[in-house]
Structure 1
């Protein structure tokens, strides 16, 4: 009981302390809402515009009202699986770190920091947590340190996974330049794929289901077996984890020539 009361007192001090958002009423930023509602925009532009709006605003993170205890790391609630970050001690006087204790499991097995556009969106997710507005920079730093360098926006309603390179760039105080319009990143992809035997050209476009679409022209003189062998090496190049901080997801499109 004493531990629970102490934990409650710590979170109350955290929430009562002066912050840049002391007057925040928990409403969604109109610019963020406008970006979210522009669903007719192509996917790559949609994410680009949404990210710009989010980082110019504030995000809301969930903080448990009391210490999270028990052996299970999973809370059985609607929506994505909720997991507790290993070794995390609740109520650290840092709301973003406390939010990492409520990290969200994504369908692909990765873990993301839950961030919200409004207190209402958070209440739709869970009723037993408190909304705390924080700077996007801090949310990104904790996501990089405590999760798989990912945000999930409005879990339980939107469940929108935001790109790893965007979170990593923000955590480092840099602007995110998506790979579909990032010249230096594309130049490095060309250098690596161009060194593969059988590759005669590389081109790029925004992906439809991924961040970047990479077109690879492959010499077909060696027949389909040769094309398949070249494509396999290209796939190995692009699945290198080193691309993780630069390219979120890739569609590799071979063009036999």
Structure 2
């Protein structure tokens, strides 16, 4: 993933820890290898996040932002604080905290950024406290990894991240716990004949609904609203699924 889709903005503060006196600013070799493997399609993101949980990262602090600065790739920097951590804006509008594996990767992203070393779980906790959904590791490359919201929450809470999608014989499939939670949430809604989960096309997980025939637009909207509300109230879904899409399937 390139850094270009992200726009900067929103300065926030973060406090460094004091346990990195001997840190030379280099990347953790194991994390770097896992990130390279993920970029090559040979390492699952789950392994990257697991290593990240035990790793120091560098959070960038920008001492001064111009009122309206434009980066070489055409992105805009909004001045919101004299000094502070900068949030990136993902293509879907969510805010992301940029973190770096090394001083070199941060300098490649922005030479005037000051590195603040923190444990990755602490960086995730700071992102969650600011209502920033994502982490972006090394947005300036050489390898960039986007850490999704459920993984950020798990990092912040010191828990193992369990992705909603797991490898299957014919490609990714929805984890059984998540699939069961989708069925439990959606199936009891009136006019829903069946409900199941599968990997999404535009979102991480698709909830596929088979509905009673003959519903008018108002009836369909009411059913979808109820399904959405029940999905949103599910702890399993909120903790493990980054994004959902609803699809209408055949009732058969």
Q: TM-score, normalised by structure 1?
A: 0.69
CA contact (8 A) 2:31 2:52 kept: yes
Q: Are 2:163 and 1:170 aligned? A: no
CA contact (8 A) 1:197 1:230 kept: no
Distance of aligned partners of 1:142 and 1:63 in 2 relative to their CA distance in 1, 3 Å threshold: same
What are the within-5 Å matches in structure 2 for residues 1-257 of structure 1?
19-38=18-37, 39-41=39-41, 46-64=44-62, 66=63, 68=64, 72=67, 75-79=69-73, 81-83=76-78, 90=83, 98-99=84-85, 102-157=86-141, 160-180=145-165, 183-207=176-200, 210-216=203-209, 218-219=210-211, 222=213, 230=220, 233-234=223-224, 237-238=227-228, 244-256=238-250, 257=252
Greater share of residues in strand: 2
- 2:10 match: none
Aligned residues: 222
CA–CA distance in structure 1, aligned partners of residues 118 and 60 of structure 2: 10
Deviation at 1:154, TM superposition (A): 1.7
Distance of aligned partners of 1:110 and 1:230 in 2 relative to their CA distance in 1, 3 Å threshold: same
CA contact (8 A) 1:81 1:105 kept: no
Range that drifts further, 155-164 or 141-150: 155-164
Distance of aligned partners of 1:40 and 1:125 in 2 relative to their CA distance in 1, 3 Å threshold: closer
Distance of aligned partners of 1:135 and 1:250 in 2 relative to their CA distance in 1, 3 Å threshold: same
Deviation at 1:51, TM superposition (A): 1.3
- Unpaired runs of 5+ residues, structure 1, are 1-13, 91-97
Structure of greater relative contact order (alpha carbons < 8 Å, 6+ residues apart): 2
CA contact (8 A) 2:25 2:103 kept: yes
Greater share of residues in helix: 1
CA–CA distance in structure 2, aligned partners of residues 232 and 117 of structure 1: 47
Q: Deviations over 1:54-93 (max 9, x none)?
A: 22222111123x3x366x3x54224554456x6x674xxx
CA–CA distance in structure 2, aligned partners of residues 197 and 168 of structure 1: 33
- Unpaired runs of 5+ residues, structure 2, are 1-14, 167-174
CA contact (8 A) 2:196 2:208 kept: yes
CA–CA distance in structure 1, aligned partners of residues 140 and 232 of structure 2: 29
CA contact (8 A) 2:57 2:120 kept: yes
Range that drifts further, 226-235 or 179-188: 226-235
Deviation at 1:30, TM superposition (A): 2.1
